[in-house]
Amino acid sequence: MITTIEKQTGTAFRLKKGQWLKVTDPKGEQVSDMVLFNALDKAEKLSSGKTLDFEETLLITKGHHLWSNRSNKMMRIVEDTNGRNDFLLAPCSPETFQIMYQNSDYHPSCFENLHTNLAPFEILPDDIPTAFNIFMNVQFAANGKLSVEPPMSKAGDYMLFEAMMDLIVGLTACSAEMSNNYSFKPVQYEILERSPAS
Amino acid sequence: MITTIEKQTGTAFRLKKGQWLKVTDPKGEQVSDMVLFNALDKAEKLSSGKTLDFEETLLITKGHHLWSNRSNKMMRIVEDTNGRNDFLLAPCSPETFQIMYQNSDYHPSCFENLHTNLAPFEILPDDIPTAFNIFMNVQFAANGKLSVEPPMSKAGDYMLFEAMMDLIVGLTACSAEMSNNYSFKPVQYEILERSPAS
């Protein structure tokens, strides 16, 4: 069953060890922020620092794993039809829009959409780690300078993940203007009992 | 008063808003991992994702701030005589040596040296964030590949930080072979009531 995450919203759900998660960009140029928690012990969660360390690259894609703060594999990346994702930048939050966009009005954000949807799992706002930002296109220059560019994903691009432990997953259709080429679109996901290819 | 952190050990201490912290590499080529917590509410802590986002660079140095998971400035970097630091990789942990060094024997680690020294402040191992790795030299290639190279710091190089809030600081003399050019040395620190230059 394909579920749609409407633009500038989010969701959270359980994913059992061995199940597969397919995350699709149905219209193109849309980012989805994903966070992961061990369903059996929520103090274990996704870690950018551990993932970049163990995979020895800034660019996490097919063949890599997403690692936890306790150095365990949380997901294996089975497929990535686009190939450009970000694991550097924190989910956009109300302060992102105040500090980086000089917008002090209310603005939807991945941070709010993650913590409100994860609240029923007793996960607090302060528990939200740096997300794995599917299809987010953050370019880095040789001098370290970071720039957020339009996603390179086309309509129908997807990533496929295998759960390596029982997980709670938080997932959004990202709300930040610059990250999505100034047009907000939905994200779709599907939970599969096994790889579609097998 | 200059305090020495012996090789492959760590410490933790309070730093008041407005105080300055000087961290020195007395012998050269030695990394020091630093983590920060809001002393008044320890769920607020150092965030690599927020810092890289707000500062818009991979290379954090003089003139930048270290930001919290709640988007507040925790420290201002007043001086950095070397200029190359890392804010990508998680503190070395027992699993680092098992997974990356194929060493299953006991090995001191920044992670252990941080959480054991922060335990008296009621900070748990799972609370330890990605550290700001002073003088750690992580090179990134255009294709994203990361490599840990010898620190470029010379004997006497230092960083000077101003506390922007009341802090609990965890600080190590890093224990990982590759990060310190295969030679473990001490780190020194000093708490100052104002900038030595002012």
Average pLDDT score over residue span A52-78: 98
Instruction: Give pLDDT, residue A22.
Output: 98
Contact A100 B59 (CB under 8 A): no
pLDDT tops 70 at residue B196: no
- Looking at residue B81, the DSSP 8-state letter turns out to be S
Portion of chain A with pLDDT greater than 70, in percent: 98
- Pairwise CA distance, residues A163 & B185, whole Å: 41
Of residues A139, A137, A134, the one with CA closest to residue A170 = A134
User: In angstroms, rounded to a whole number, what is the distance separating the alpha carbons of residues A73 and A60?
Assistant: 14
Mean pLDDT for chain B? 96
Q: Which residue of B has its CA nearest to A148?
A: B56
Q: What is the DSSP string of chain A?
A: -EEEE-TT-EEEEEE-TT-EEEEEESSBS--EEEEEEETT-TT-BB-HHHHHHHHTBS---TT-EEEBTTS-EEEEEEEESS---B-SSPPP-HHHHHHTS---S----HHHHHHHHHGGGT--GGG--PPEEET-EEEE-TT-BEEEE---PBTTEEEEEEESS-EEEEEE----TGGGTT----EEEEEESS-TT-
The per-residue pLDDT for range A108-148, each reduced to its tens digit, is 999 999 999 999 999 999 999 999 999 999 999 999 999 99
How large a percentage of chain B has pLDDT more than 90?
A: 94
**Which of A52, A71, A89 is closest, CB to CB, to B88?**
A52
Residue A102: predicted pLDDT: 86
Q: How confident is the model at residue B101 (pLDDT cuts 50, 70, 90)?
A: confident
pLDDT at position B103: 86
Provide mean pLDDT across the span A5-33. 98
Question: Chain A residues contacting B, CB < 8 Å?
Answer: 43-44, 47-50, 52-54, 56-59, 69-71, 88-91, 93, 95-96, 99-100, 124, 126, 128-131, 140, 142-147
Q: What's the mean pLDDT when you consider all of chain A?
A: 96
Taking only the tens place, the pLDDT of each residue in A78-113 is: 999 999 999 999 999 999 999 988 888 999 999 999
Which tens digits make up the pLDDT trace of B2-13? 999 999 999 999
Residue B49 has pLDDT above 70, yes or no: yes
Residue type at B137?
A: N
Is the predicted pLDDT of residue B155 greater than 70, yes or no?
Answer: yes
> Do the chains contact at B69 and A126, CB–CB below 8 Å?
yes
Task: Tell me which residue in B130, B131, B146 faces A58 most closely, judged by beta carbons.
Answer: B146
Compute φ and ψ for B57, nearest 5 degrees: -155, 155
- Give yes or no for residue B36 having a pLDDT over 90: yes
Of the candidates B49, B89, B99, the beta carbon closest to that of A71 is on B99
Q: Best of B48, B53, B64, B127 to disrupt the A interface by mutation (most A CBs within 10 Å)?
A: B53
pLDDT band at residue B189 using 50, 70 and 90 as cut-offs: very high
For residue B67, name the pLDDT band (cuts at 50, 70, 90).
very high
Q: Which residue has the tokens 């970097």?
A: B77
User: Domain segments of chain B: what residues?
Assistant: 2-192
Rounded to an integer, the average pLDDT of B145-159 is 98
3-state secondary structure labels for all residues of B7-51: CCCEEEEEECCCCEEEEEECCECCCEEEEEEECCCCCCEECHHHH
Q: Give the model's pLDDT for residue A195.
A: 61
Q: Is the pLDDT of residue B197 over 90?
A: no
Size of interface A-B (CB pairs under 8 A): 104
Chain B residues touching residue A96 (CB < 8 angstroms): 53, 71
- Longest Cα pair distance anywhere in chain A, in angstroms? 49
Q: Is the model's pLDDT at A159 over the cut of 80? A: yes
- Angle at which helix A48-55 crosses helix B48-55, to 10 degrees, equals 80
Q: Does residue A179 carry a pLDDT above 90?
A: yes
> How much is the ipTM here?
0.96
| Nearest Cβ partner for A140 among B44, B129, B140 | B140
